[in-house]
Structure 1
Amino acid sequence: MFTLFLFGAPAWAAAHPGGAAFLPVASLAGDRLRAALPELPLATLLVLAAAALGLLLHRRVQAAHDRYLALDGQLQAERSARAEAEAALAGSHEVLCRLVRQQESVREAERARIARDLHDELGHRLLALRVELALQQAAVRGTSAVLYDKLSQAIGTLDAALRSVRTTVGGLRPIAPGQSLRQAAERHLAEFARLHGLDYRFDAGLASEGGCDPESEVVLFRVLQEALSNVGRHAQASMVRVSLVEAAGKTVLRVEDDGIGPGVPASTTGRGRGVDGMRERTAALGGSLSLEAGRRGGTVLCATFPSRRLAPSG
């Protein structure tokens, strides 16, 4: 059969006369083989093309996987760098807050020293001078009306000076020993309203021993002082309301006036620097401060501190 396929049916029939009957079958098989032979190179090409395509796809998948690994490594490195930067920023913020607290502590200590000096030295000397003038006034009573009147004026001037000293001492040493934040705030508000001729309202839902630690109470009082000072200098108000309450684990100070509001630029009023200082001192102790226009005009300042239940100090 192999010879038949190689040399063709006629040659095979001539060599084997007895096989003529098999000639049609052999001829048909040879025709099919000759027809199939041209298709073999095409199939081989298709197999080779499929193999090349598979190899190309594999290389592309491998390259994509390598790029993914590189990008994932870069992402992890960026996340690590970001975490380190956030940790450094948090550390810097903590250091800054600690410095602000230390500065505030030094400032309060210096204010307390000045208050003691004013009270013990200047206050006592002025009081002694007033007593001396009162004795001199009593001695000249009925003898010299002109001298008596002059001594009365001098005593009146000394009384005004003593009130100023007491006010200054009260401002430098806001919360006296044995006094609560609520009492100190109410006293300061009443004195402020009297000096500026304003009506005022004070609401306190705070326990007498307070809800903050002493350091936060001092900063809260300083915020109240600065807020009222801004009201007296810039607000052109006729009424001021102060509330000091404790709710949801926070101590909240709210100062509201009925003046012209915060729309005036800070550069013309000088209010911006004071507000920035209050905000920094508040943030250093974990609190927050906001300043906005009131719903019915005026300005609303709100300072919030986390409450810390502490035993009242002696």
Structure 2
Amino acid sequence: MGGGGLTTYVARRVLIALGLVYIVTTIVFLVLHVIPGDPAMLLLSGGGVDPSAEAVAELRRKLGLDQPIFTQYIDYLAGLLQGDLGNSFQDDHPVAAEIAKRLPRTIELILAAALLSVLTGLPLGTLAALRQGGITDRSLSLVAGLMLSVPVFVTGTLLVLVFAQKLQWVPAGGFVEWSRDPIRHLIHLLMPAVTIAMGLSAVIFRMMRTTVLETLQQEWVRTARAKGLSGRSVLLRHVVRNALGPVLTVLGLHMGTLLGGTVLVEYVFNWPGLSGFLVVAVETRDYPEVQGIVLVISFLFILLNLLVDLLYSVLDPRIRLE
């Protein structure tokens, strides 16, 4: 398919992505306004004080919560079109500024975990496929199964117990700005990244093993070998490249999921990212913060899947015809 077909495919995927962002935005807005809990009441009763009905009504008016839900929804969409995520109910600070400060920390954590997962999952999955049925294959598959079965908070707690408390090789948690001390920043990043990477690398390992095994059975692989190509050339240029498509799809999906699933890891290691910020915002019914955080996470999730789809279409142009 030529460039026009690729352009049409990209345009279609982008339009679908934008539609998904709008749907998620609407659902989050409606859910927040349906669940029990009055933000004005929560704010005024923070110190155990029982606020008067007049005070609650006045604060609801200032926050715009006295307006019909449809009016609030239109105002919210109008703000989004101008790049305004609103101000926090708690201290009136711009939500976009707080997200901009915390989001890079969460993205850094996820990218570091993804890099570790790819560097371990791809070669080990390929190795297991090439040693199918042998002790190497069985051992690696057993380890991958164990890594998938252990919850992430258990893995994180065990890593803290062993490497931070017992061996004292790394700190138990915390955060140091890269600008202050790059080495300490990476040291603090290591354990939470490894905690996330363990489960993800097991997923990539299994997918890579399966796809390599399937690819090795294809007729064109046997033909390439019959033409005299070396085993290394067949493996790298043909088998691995064709096996990467499904693996990339799984990686993209899981990276998007990790954007919303790092809450426990950031909590265990006291990593000041976006997930912990979301937990506090939900507890206090801070609508602008929750809406802004979920919107950004959803947008990044959809963007990651869009990029994976486009990369997959480059690796396998046949999917543009589907």
Higher helix share: 2
Q: Could you say which structure has the greater relative contact order, defined with CA pairs below 8 angstroms and 6 or more residues apart?
A: 2
Is the radius of gyration larger for structure 1 or structure 2?
Answer: 1
- Shorter-chain TM-score tier: under 0.3
Superposition TM-score, scaled by structure 2 size: 0.22
TM-score (norm 1): 0.23
